[in-house]
Amino acid sequence: MKIHYLGTGAAEGIPAIFCNCSYCKSVRLRGGRAVRSRAQVIIDGDLSIDFSPDCFLHGTMPGVDLSAIATLIVTHSHCDHFYAHDFVLRGYKYAREMTAPALHILGNDEVLAVYAESVRREMGDPVREHIALTGLSAFVPASSGDWTIHPLMARHTSKDPFVYLIEGRGKRILHLTDTGLLPEEDYDYLRALGGAPLDLVTFDCTFLYDETPHSARHMGIAENVAVEARLKDLSLIGAHTQRVITHFSHNSAPTEEKLERAAREHGFLAAYDGMILEI
Ligand SMILES: [Zn+2]
Ligand SMILES: [Zn+2]
Ligand SMILES: [Zn+2]
């Protein structure tokens, strides 16, 4: 199964959109993999986790067909994860010969509210009629195409954000952005569900090695290691489980040196924009 990481920066991206800190300035000079756009991961070509303001850019990358996304699961309504205005362009004269004309968007109530607000002015009926929406509740699995989607609670905003366990085509994937340490209810749910070890865990790593006091709404390496230990206790991490870190902030300056340290010390693979992982 192909996992395509397309956007691996935090909300402001790297270089941050309006920032002139020394790290952002260095990234503007260097370019390449140090540039990180906002969140999107495409799984097996047809399932997208999140849809950010940088999806136009992602659609210019080799091997990406945004029209092939038939299922979109949205973690939460923050604009770096859900930029719904672009859906007004999904069909009619704006998009021809789409690979998957029908799109199914799944998210919490706030996500559905943002969708309604964003498309209200400009979306025409020929586009609207090909997009279906499903509101999710925590710990109530939903299905879309070949996928079973388990919404778990995130520790992030007061608006019921989710992280997801995704099962389908013989694989199990745990996607943990945006969140701090997971609530106990998540571990209870995973314990009750049981099943084979995960094939992939993707961690929110906004703070990386930042040791200064930080919010509990995101994670860094220390929190990633703590969550990994809890998942190991549940036998959900095995020898084959790939562990990826993403959602990096300019404030924690994700240099190659720090990312190599995360790989060396913990076996964490740092995502970059355009990275393809086979699981
Ligand atoms: Zn975010
Ligand atoms: Zn900066
Ligand atoms: Zn967020």
Tens digits of per-residue pLDDT, 91-105?
999 999 999 999 999
pLDDT of residue 212: 87
pLDDT at 160 over 90: no
Interval between CA 270 and ligand 1 midpoint (Å): 16
Report pLDDT digits (tens) over 71-92: 999 999 999 999 999 999 999 9
Interval between CA 142 and ligand 3 midpoint (Å): 22
Interval between CA 15 and ligand 2 midpoint (Å): 6
Q: What is the mean pLDDT of the chain?
A: 97
pLDDT of residue 253: 98
Domain range holding 173? 2-278
Interval between CA 21 and ligand 2 midpoint (Å): 4
Interval between CA 189 and ligand 3 midpoint (Å): 23
Interval between CA 11 and ligand 1 midpoint (Å): 5
Quick one: average pLDDT of 36-48? 98
- How many angstroms separate the most distant Cα atoms in the chain? 53
Interval between CA 77 and ligand 2 midpoint (Å): 23
Which token pair is 47?
């399932």
pLDDT of residue 159: 83
Interval between CA 38 and ligand 1 midpoint (Å): 8
Quick one: average pLDDT of 221-245? 98
Quick one: average pLDDT of 29-41? 98
pLDDT of residue 58: 98
pLDDT of residue 211: 85
CATH number at residue 39: 3.60.15.10
Q: Under a CB-based contact definition with an 8 Å cutoff, are residues 63 and 276 in contact?
A: yes
Q: Under a CB-based contact definition with an 8 Å cutoff, are residues 105 and 48 in contact?
A: no
Distance CA 238, CA 258 (A): 25
Q: What is the pTM of this model?
A: 0.97
Interval between CA 76 and ligand 3 midpoint (Å): 7
Interval between CA 68 and ligand 2 midpoint (Å): 34
pLDDT of residue 213: 86
Total domain count for the chain? 1
What percentage of the chain exceeds 90 in pLDDT? 97
pLDDT of residue 273: 98
Q: How confident is the model at residue 158 (pLDDT cuts 50, 70, 90)?
A: confident
pLDDT at 8 over 90: yes
Interval between CA 217 and ligand 1 midpoint (Å): 10
Interval between CA 240 and ligand 1 midpoint (Å): 27
Quick one: average pLDDT of 51-80? 98
